[in-house]
Amino acid sequence: MKFFKKLTNTVKSTVKIFPGAFFIVFLVLLFNSQKSFPQFISNEIKLYDSAIDHNSDSSTKKSDGKPLFKMKKDPWKAVMYSALLPGAGQIYNKSYWKVPVIAGLGGYFVYEYIRNNNKFKDYRDLFHNSQTELNPSGDPQLQALREFYRDQRDNFIIYSMILYVVNLIDAYVDAQLYDFDVSEKIKLSVLNKNSLMKFSYEF
């Protein structure tokens, strides 16, 4: 119960201290969700129709003869990869630029955990040595430093857990939206009839 209470307080404090980090996470998820929302709805309807046709007919075609829509990336496979190795699901989804972000944040959190844990052990031992028969309560300053570095260590454990969960969510969402291409297409063609150059810009 105490851990969950601390988890809630840490998340709240993280939002206050690192609003930019959560803003970046929000932008990543928003960027993924903006991959042509109308096309997303349309393709979800197609997937629903395909599932119905598949249940009613085990053939690989619809009743009108058109092939069923098949996703290029399996969302749960992406989640599995990211669960085994954070960033692997992003590689599977070909979102390579996200890998150094995840690896960088993960490495930083691990480094800070180790550093704060070592500091905690040092001040724990110093505080323990400061407890004598004449002063059984020990040095209060050393005790405060011991508690500070223990809290910092625990905070970075929670940060790592948040990063791990975001890594899984991002892998799933990115795989779901992999088939919806919103890349800008630029076509350059020559009209042979009038010998004019035609430039078209499509979204």
Whole-angstrom CA distances from 80 to 1, 74, 122, 160, 179 are 29, 10, 39, 18, 19
Q: Which two tokens stand for residue 62?
A: 């619809």
pTM for this entry: 0.59
Tell me if 63 sits within 8 A of 56, measured CB to CB. no
Tell me if 157 sits within 8 A of 15, measured CB to CB. no
pLDDT the model gives residue 179 = 78
Helix, strand, coil shares of the chain, percent, nearest 5, are 65, 10, 25
Give the confidence band of 73 by pLDDT, cuts at 50, 70, 90: confident
Q: Domain limits of the chain?
A: 2-34+71-181
pLDDT tens digits for 20-63?
444 445 445 445 544 444 444 445 445 545 544 555 444 445 55
Check pLDDT > 90 for residue 181.
Answer: no
pLDDT the model gives residue 5 = 62
DSSP single-letter state for residue 66: P
Measured CA to CA, the distance from residue 165 to residue 162 in angstroms comes to 5
* Strand, coil or helix: 187: strand
